[in-house]
Structures are given as structure tokens and as C-alpha cells.
Amino acid sequence: MRKSTTPFEKPADASTDSFGCSLEKLSTNQTLRGAGLTVLRKGVREGLSQQVSTEASNRGFVIGVSTLPGHTRRIFHEHHATTHVFEQDSVYIRSLDERYKADLRNAFDFLLFEISPAALATIAEEADLRAVSVLNTITGHPDPVLANLARALIPALENPEQASRLFVDQLTTAIGTHVIQKYGHRTAASGTRARKLSRAQENVAKSIILDNLHGNVSIAELARACNLSRGYFIHAFRETTGMTPYQWLLRERIARARTLLLETDVAISEIAISCGFSDQSHFTRVFVNLVGTTPGIWRRNA
């Protein structure tokens, strides 16, 4: 005998993703792992209407950031429905332990962050915040700070094989901290501590970073080498050096590149790759930002 379903339920369908979106209709479907977060990007170019429905799970919470204006979502609750129009940089947060059903209309492009209750507690502890296991649910609220942080991950989502793990870890840690501070239920500061690396810890961290100029080392690995938590390490490294680990990595890449530009005739494109940049264009952008001129002009003047 066929089992009946409630208005929220639908049979399992392999043609949909974990949020109930039709895989066939998705024009963008990208995933990246960060520090305590799963980062996703879901998009539909055309205004195709569809209904999504998911059952309750223990996955935690999802935070969505809309990069496009005009997406409309009619959300069905137990005894009523609400309609929301998403502007660019507006945010929603919903608990995945509740059943969800909504009609989606118009094109959309969402950056999504899935975070478990355990990860919430870890990020809060590492950021010196009172323990948090619940986020306040919102729909369509503007949050330009979170939107700017989220957008910075788009290149990494588009080319995950070229993404620096240090950069992704730092950015997702910042995103997690912002979410907890702004939306964590009864979050409050528990006081700040002076945090600096010992000379030995600083030397260990810098040595590991230099051995991985392409950025293929995670914040967690650096923190473990220093016997520190991930969040404590990021703060302590910044207090000690005046820079985040990724900023320090970029400066070391540029320092090595300047030596090669000055002492060798190696092509700029080859220097870019050998110093850990994805290509010459990326190298040039960072070089101009830190040095004030292009590698070619600097080499000629030097």
C-alpha cells in the first residue's frame, strides 16, 4: 500500500540536490570546503519556476546570500505562507532541522554556507564568544558585510583546484565569526585575551608557509603544528606579525619574485608560477597592490 504524504513531503528524487533544487534547472552548482563550513553556489539563469521541498535533517543551518536582485520565494509554513523578494546582498538563515517547502520564481544566484551545530560551537569558542548552538532565522535581510565576504569566495568556487587553502580557511573563519556575532542566539563576548605566538611557534608557522608557497596548507594544519586552536592561531599570528597568514604568504611570494626578477632572466610568467601564483595576471595584480608598479617595470628600473 502506498504511503500518503503531508504537504511538506515528497518522494526521494535523485534529480534534486540536498536543498530540493532541480539539478536539471541549476545553471550553477559549485561546492567548496572551508574551516567548519561547506560553501556552495547555486544559480538559475532564467526565471524558471520550481518548487523545492526538503525533510528535516540534523545538518544544522544554511546561510544564503543573494548576489542578484529580484528573486521571489513563497515559503509555506504549517498554517500559512509568506512571500519574500530578495534584493542583491540580502541574506536568509534557516534551520535544516525543520521541514521546508517553497515556490521559487525568477532567476537566482545564491552563495550558501552550511554549518553544523558542532561547528557553530567551535567557531564561537575560538572567537572568544559565549557558546552558540542556534542561529536566529531570517529571510531577505540586507547584510553587506556578509555579502562582501561571501563574494570574495567566488573565484575559489569557480576554480577550487587553484584556490589557496589558507585564503579559503581564513575567509570562512571570518564568515563563521560574523554570522555568530550577528545572528547567534544570545551571543555575547566573554572577554578578550592578549594573544601572540611564541618565537618558536612563529618560526614553525612561517617555515611551514614558506614550504607551501602555493598555499596548499590549511589553517588547521598550521594551528596543530603550534598546538593551538584554529581561531586562536589566526588571531595570534595577526597580533604577532601584523598580518593574517595569507597576507604574510603573499608578501613572501612577492619577496621571492623580486629576487628572481632582479637576479635572473626568467620570464615573468614562469616566475609567477614558481612563486605560487595561479598565472601571470594574478601575479601582476598582487605585485602592483604591494609594490606599486608592474613586475616588468620594476625589473627594468631595478
pLDDT score at 231: 79
User: pLDDT of 46-67, one tens digit each?
Assistant: 877 889 999 998 899 999 999 9
What mean pLDDT comes out for the span 107-121?
91
pLDDT score at 230: 83
Question: Is residue 11 over pLDDT 50?
Answer: no
Class of domain 199-242: mainly alpha
Portions of the chain given CATH number 1.10.10.60: 256-301
| CB 122, CB 46: distance < 8 Å | no
CATH match for 28-183 among 3.40.50.1450, 2.60.120.280, 3.40.50.2000, 2.40.10.10: 2.60.120.280
**Cα 254–Cα 260–Cα 262 angle in degrees, nearest 5:** 100
- Amino acid identity of residue 225, one-letter, is A
User: pLDDT of 146-166, one tens digit each?
Assistant: 999 999 999 999 999 888 899
Among candidates 265, 288, 289, 255, which has minimal Cα distance to 297? 288
Of these ranges, 7-21, 70-84, 120-134, the one predicted with the greatest mean pLDDT is 70-84
Nearest 5°: phi and psi at 273?
-65, -45
Residues 6+ apart with CB under 8 A from 173: 34, 35, 36, 123, 126, 219, 230, 231, 234
Question: Is residue 214 over pLDDT 70?
Answer: yes
CATH architecture of 256-301: Orthogonal Bundle (1.10)
